[in-house]
Amino acid sequence: MIRIVTARAALLVGQAAFWLPSGRRCQSLGEPAVDFDGHSPGFVRGVARGANGLATAVYAASEGLSVLVLDSRAFGGQAGASARIENYLGFPTGISGMALMGRAHSQAQKFGATVAIPDEVVTLESAPDLYHGRFLLLLRGEERASARSVVMASGARYRRPAIDNLAAFEGASVHYWASPLERNLCDGQEVALVGGGNSAGQAVVYLAGKVTKLWLIVRGSGLEATMSRYLVERIAALTNVELVIDSEVVLLEGQDGVLEAARWRHRRSGEETRRNIRHLFLFIGAEPNTSWLSHCDVVLDEKGFVRTGTELGINRPALATSRSGVFAVGDVRAGSVKRVAAAVGEGAQVVAAIHAYLAAPDDQPVP
């Protein structure tokens, strides 16, 4: 049986209510499971124990908002899976993703945020007539949570090719982006990059200035169908870039996460090539975790990422989605840069937007 519990909560100031079956256990990582069927404060956050969810929780809770963080899986999101984050401000020697997220989790709890896992959000509804304009999140298992505002931080998943031992090299030698850090890591080395889209092309041009040799590996028969012409032409002019068509990376070799060689196979002939590759770049796309938003009237872009701010209209507040009171931050947001620091920054920024919304919920322009 589901019962209604009213709690002093909400993603920020204000009241919210939780609909939780009696005896439901909400587990807070690092602590024993606790019963959470009483009058506990909370804010409803659609998805979130990634960098972004925890950042929002820290900033929102430290500014007096009641916060409930819901996550379907575990601690830390993608950042938690990173063996070593080298480019996060304040950690010049790097820090493991799990250590960084562990600290964020403790900090969120210190400020009073409530964290619930595993709690998968199945859909977002609004029930303005019944619940005075609050948002209602349906959780797997027929539970409900509501609040006056919702922040979506459900992140994204990078597409990963089917290479058996790929995970062993992620973090140190396998990269899903090419920032100045990765570019410097590759200085004077031979690398491979998989992908035929524009983001792959831009990364090739960017990395080519540093590396001795770059193998650009694509499954198709060329770049023309998937990459802008100017990039195809620029790549053709780079003498240290070699295009490998109709091929897939099939095996990585190395020790302790340090890549020493890669093998790729021609898809028709089956012929294999082995090269002494030190870094592998994968640019085969990212998929947003937005299937739970498919019937929520939240506008997504053509790839399924959540549109926010001026993408929706000239007067739309930053990080606001097409539904007033619902915000999106981090990798799930269309146009996000997909870095830990960016996710954390947006988590801080959205708190001001929520305050503004709660102060004048009816003044928010809706396209």
Ligand X SMILES: Cc1cc2nc3c(=O)[nH]c(=O)nc-3n(C[C@H](O)[C@H](O)[C@H](O)COP(=O)(O)OP(=O)(O)OC[C@H]3O[C@@H](n4cnc5c(N)ncnc54)[C@H](O)[C@@H]3O)c2cc1C
Which residues sit at the interface with ligand X, rule CB under 6 A? 47-53, 70-73, 77-79, 81-82, 85-87, 120-121, 153-156, 158, 170-171, 289, 292, 330-331, 338-341, 343
Which residue, 120 or 125, is less far from ligand X as judged by CB? 120
The CB-of-151 to ligand X minimum distance in angstroms stands at 10
The Cα angle at residue 299 between residues 296 and 301, in degrees rounded to 5: 130
Decide whether 17 or 100 has the Cβ nearer to ligand X: 100
Distance between CA atoms of 197 and 207, rounded to whole angstroms?
15
Return the structure tokens found at 7.
Answer: 């709690």
Which CB, 72 or 114, lies closer to ligand X?
72
Residue identified by tokens 């900090």 is 107
Nearer to ligand X, 40 or 82 (CB): 82
Q: What is the rounded distance in angstroms from the CA atom of residue 91 to the CA atom of residue 96?
A: 10
**Nearer to ligand X among residue 48 and residue 60 (C-beta):** 48
| Residue 8 or 73 with smaller CB distance to ligand X | 73
Torsions phi, psi for 150 (to 5 deg): -130, 135
SS3 of 89-148: CCCCCCECHHHHHHHHHHHHHHCCCEEEECCCEEEEEECHHHHCCCEEEEECCCEEEEEC
For residue 40, the minimal CB distance to ligand X (Å) is 18
Least Cβ distance, residue 303 to ligand X (angstroms): 15
CB of 74 to ligand X, least distance (A): 7
Closer residue to ligand X in complex, CB, 71/190: 71
**Can you count the helices (H) and strands (E) in the chain?**
8, 21
Minimum CB distance to ligand X smaller for 268 or for 295 = 295
Instruction: Tell me how far, at minimum, the Cβ of 256 lies from ligand X, in Å.
Output: 16
The CA-atom distances, in angstroms, between 256 and each of 88, 105, 181, 240, 274 are 23, 28, 20, 28, 20
Degrees (nearest 5) of the Cα angle 228, 180, 191? 70
At closest approach, how far in Å is the CB of 152 from ligand X?
9
CB of 83 or CB of 232, closer to ligand X: 83
Minimum distance, C-beta of residue 341 to ligand X, in the bound complex (Å): 6
Lookup: tokens for 80 = 């938690």
Degrees to nearest 5, angle at CA 60 with 69 and 80: 50
Running DSSP on this structure, what letter comes out for residue 278?
S
**From CA 65, how far away is CA 40, in angstroms rounded?**
13
CB of 296 to ligand X, least distance (A): 11
| CA-angle at 75, arms to 73 and 79, nearest 5° | 110
At residue 174, what are phi and psi to the nearest 5 degrees? Answer: -115, 125
Closest approach of ligand X to the CB of residue 100, in Å: 10
CA distances from 324 to 17, 133, 328, 353 (A): 19, 11, 11, 11
CA-CA distance, 279 to 191, in Å (whole number)? 5
